[in-house]
Amino acid sequence: MLFMYSLAFGQEFKDITSDYKVTFPQDFYYKSDYRVQWWYFTGHLYDEEGREFGYELTFFVVGVQKKDYKSQFGLRNIYISHFALSDMAEQKFFFSDKSDSGAFNFAGARDNQLHVWVGKNRLQGTMKKMHLHASDGERAINLTLTPTKPIVLHGENGYSRKSEESPLIASVYFSYTNLNTEGTITVVNRTFRVRGKSWFDREFSSRGLSEKQTGWDWFALRLDDNREVMLYLLRNRDGSIDKLSSGTFIYSNGSYRHLTRKDFSVTATKYYRSRKTGARYPSQWKIDIPSENIQLRLTPLLEDQELVTPYSTFNFYWEGVCVVEGTLSGRAYVEMTGYSRRT
């Protein structure tokens, strides 16, 4: 996943370059040298009777300035969290967002351990086991995640370039694409014990989109044969796709390979109009990966999974659960940003 933001870029934050060496576990932790970073979780969970839920829990840290303050009120970072649940049985989508300056430890991120929090939303743990908690009053998750495959380094050993325009428009990007997940989901006054699979993305950077770019479509596919696929399309303002759009194909044994723009195709075959914002989003896709003999169709299990974020990033985007059909079946999360409101 990428993060769209608009800030004046100074020289106080480091750029990502192709010679960056990913280091564990340090790169799981908060990195003060980079302007924006995130820990991003999505998952497909089921209760004991097969009731299906999708969830998204994200944590962002956006650097405002690198300055030490004696006062608790000095603004160095903005901490942001988004929490969403898709309840397939009820065909309902719930979302909340929050942000905080970090004063008095209402939000924060540690640079020596995996611990990030914004209000009641919290990530804690280690590379071997992570714990998530989120609550917005009537809905909550308490989940434990354990990786079943090694870490995947996207791009070139974790260096993920995001634009033809400059090699500095890039991020460090790695994932756990297959995490066993168990815990509870609470919806209003009912709690469900759930199990399933999650996907975790970690990225950090000091650059946003290029001037030519308007948004992206991101796909995280979990196939029933224990393989996964990550793809992203970076959309330009003239309607073209940036040639640096790419992906990763992950095999059942944990090995993986980089996919260039020429290795796959994504075609939108249906669209829908949001009642919240008027934005027109794709609502079905055809995905072909010829080298793997894969032809897939992705369809949202719930059409309205759009997030509007008045308490944090002040934007809107679509992210939700999709069913995967075709040469293989499975589930996917799809994210779409940068689609314009209807005027």
List, in order of start, the domains of the chain with CATH numbers.
Answer: 26-337 (2.40.370.10)
pTM: predicted TM-score of the whole model, two decimal places: 0.94
Encoded tokens for 163: 């634009």
| pLDDT one digit per residue (tens) for the chain, 343 residues | 444 444 444 458 999 999 999 999 999 999 999 999 999 999 999 999 999 999 999 999 999 876 666 556 667 899 999 999 999 999 999 999 999 999 889 999 999 999 999 999 999 999 999 999 999 989 999 999 999 999 999 999 999 999 999 999 999 999 999 999 999 999 998 999 999 999 999 999 999 888 899 999 999 999 999 999 999 999 999 999 999 999 999 999 999 999 999 999 999 999 999 999 999 999 999 999 999 999 999 999 999 999 999 989 889 999 999 999 999 999 999 999 999 876 3
> At residue 149, what are phi and psi to the nearest 5 degrees?
-130, 160
pLDDT of residue 279: 95
A 10 A CB-CB count for 60 gives 24
3-state class of 222 per DSSP?
strand
A 10 A CB-CB count for 3 gives 21
Encoded tokens for 80: 């942001």
**Angle at alpha carbon of residue 301, lines to 297 and 303, rounded to 5°:** 100
